[in-house]
Amino acid sequence: MQLTVWTYEGPPHVGAMRVATGMCDLHYVLHAPQGDTYADLLFTMIERRDHRPPVTYTTFQARDLGKDTAELFKTAARDAYDRFKPQAMIVGSSCTAELIQDDPHGLSLTMGLECPVIPLELPSYSRKENWGASETFYQIVRTLADKERKPLPAVGENGPRRPRANLLGPTALGFRHRDDVVEITRLLGDLGIDVNMVAPMGSSPADIVRIGEADFNICLYPEIAAQACSWLERTFRQKTVKTVPIGLNATREFVAEVCTVAGLPVPADLDQGRMGWWSRSIDSTYLTGKRVFIFGDGTHAVAAARVASEELGFKVVGLGCYNREFAREVRAAAEKYGVEPLISDDYLAVEEAIEAAAPELVLGTQMERHIAKRLRLPCAVISAPVHVQDFPARHSPQMGFEGANVLFDTWVHPLVMGLEEHLLTMFREDFEFSDAAGTSHLGHASAPAAHAAPAAEQAEGEVATIAEPAPAPADEGGWTAEALAELGKIPFFVRGKARRNTERYASEHGVTTITRDTLYEAKSHYAR
């Protein structure tokens, strides 16, 4: 178990909490010490929920270890049922509670609770959060689904009915899950398809009972729902739509697959996205070939690489994921783009890879946002784990045609703003843009007194001048002021690479003082 300041995934019981918190009338009794209640903050602070997650902790302490911790669990479970009256309960242990080897499921069976109790075996020292969410959802579906439920006849008393689908995979703390559900539900409605249920998010145990009434399933988030979908295929003979509709091309393929499974004609005029038009326009040409490094969960990383390469014309220079269960998919995609796959949950390794690849844009998680900030690179978040700013109040899906618009805005704007910053840097010595020019060059405000002498102090006929900015001091690394000034003219998103290449060139050639000429000699050397 790796101890670190940052982690991409929490322990598997946090995944179980994500499933439970997304559902209604389900309660999670977690055998855990007092300190594990920190998990509440994930939902109340980061996701900004207006109520606590439906989790009861036993909160045993060190002094309880010499007593009957099993009785503590039974008391907590009984109190939770009496207080919340859930339709079903899930029970399990945290990583710490695993060590004392109590049996939450066996204990719950002795209590005679008047609702289904679903045991969770979540090995905290070998598995992580996404696996825990997947296993929890699978166990809930397998336990509660009524195997006698079947889809309604295609033709009833009122004529042919609309096909019905289950949307599976969205959870609490999921990256834009709630917005994706809205967008995909709208898209299915336009296709003439009804949503039988959304699960786990928004569903109850009673809803899970009727999961077999749908004609087919849509696996929106394979990390969460792939295992449950596979079981539903075997048990109910429900087909699964596996295309994840992230990006224009993937959304079109999603529509085609859904219509094929539902037995409907594929419409030709549903595309409302602007990204396809813009990416073909003359205004987009300066983005062609931009180097992008992508890292996140497997599904979002692979989808992002496709959008970046096929729809925006970027060059993928790095691709990886932190969840090893999807390593095969990421390796296949990396081979397609000619890059070495990075399968790791070590953010320091990710930082080294980003620095070595020298991208112009980073697409990643909250961790990569921090990394890019340190490296002075533009960044857009595409995957969990994320912080509060990636749970916006506005509608901001990642999936569907509207999701493609959001991707376009989110990814292109950092580069556009970077161009603007570069232009400002290029013209910073212009008399109109210097600090001495005051707050505006339009005449609405006068120059600050610190930069311009009062008119009474100027000799008659004397022309006021703006002093040249002082040269930058020499750097500790042996750079002259002239060389640093020239380095500053390079666009910020490749400035770090230029500096590193120059310093490497100087080291290899025995140059102790880096001048302006050294900078250009290094440029010529590495351009060969």
Runs of H (alpha helix) within 269-380:
275-279, 298-306, 327-337, 347-357, 366-375
d(CA 488, CA 364) in angstroms, rounded, equals: 27
The label of the residue with tokens 């302490």 reads: 61
Residues 272, 402 contacting (CB under 8 angstroms): yes
Q: Residue 340 is encoded by which pair of tokens?
A: 């070495």
What letter would DSSP give residue 160? E
d(CA 385, CA 383) in angstroms, rounded, equals: 6
Is 146 tagged catalytic? no
Runs of H (alpha helix) within 145-241:
177-191, 205-209, 222-236
Nearest to residue 296, comparing CAs of 233, 371, 229?
371
User: Catalytic: which of 68, 146, 283, 517?
Assistant: 283
Give me the phi and psi of 138, to 5 degrees please. Answer: -60, -45
Q: Which residues of 76-87 are buried (b: 16+ CB within 10 A; e: fewer)?
A: bbeebbeeeebb
Q: Which residues of 433-453 are buried (b: 16+ CB within 10 A; e: fewer)?
A: ebebbbeeeeeeeebeeeebe
d(CA 500, CA 497) in angstroms, rounded, equals: 5
Residues 247, 311 contacting (CB under 8 angstroms): yes
d(CA 293, CA 308) in angstroms, rounded, equals: 10
Residues labelled as active-site residues: 283
